[in-house]
Amino acid sequence: MILNELAQGLRTTAEGVEWFERLSEEDQRKTLHALVLFCGQARAREEDVPESIARSGIRHTHTPAVMLTKWRFGMEALPDHELTKSFRLLVALFSIADTRRRTLHCVGGCGHEWHNLSAQAEVST
């Protein structure tokens, strides 16, 4: 839920990073693995990489950015000091791909529960 809220701009990146950094290292790695899967489901593209690097706030020379530039995933296997950078980068990539998917394929409504989070929040308030 939190990852989808981040992708849809319902939570800030700072909130996401704070949440991520409170996780155990094992859960951080599992979260990164889930983000890679979400990026695939949302149909992320190699041409999304430069924008995701820019949005993430990490330098293009950081290891996760270099990996993604080569369209290589597996950031969950990086050393622990690279995990937050990987998280920021993958959230940005997921956000770009998910926004495109919602705009192109789910416009006018869809059955994806996770694409209707803002409507669910309005109903609960």
- pTM score above 0.85: no
- CA atoms within 13 Å, Cβ hemisphere of 70: 10
* Angstrom distance (rounded) from CA 115 to CA 22: 26
Structure tokens at 116: 């209707």
| pLDDT band with cut points at 50, 70 and 90 for residue 107 | low
Higher pLDDT, 82 or 103: 82
Helix (H, G, I), strand (E, B) or coil at 10: coil
Q: Is the pLDDT of residue 89 over 80?
A: yes
56: tokens are 């993430």
User: Within the chain, what is the greatest distance between any pair of CA atoms?
Assistant: 44
Tokens (6 digits) for 69 = 């530039």
Residue 116: is it exposed, middle or buried by C-beta count within 10 angstroms (0-12/13-18/19+)? middle
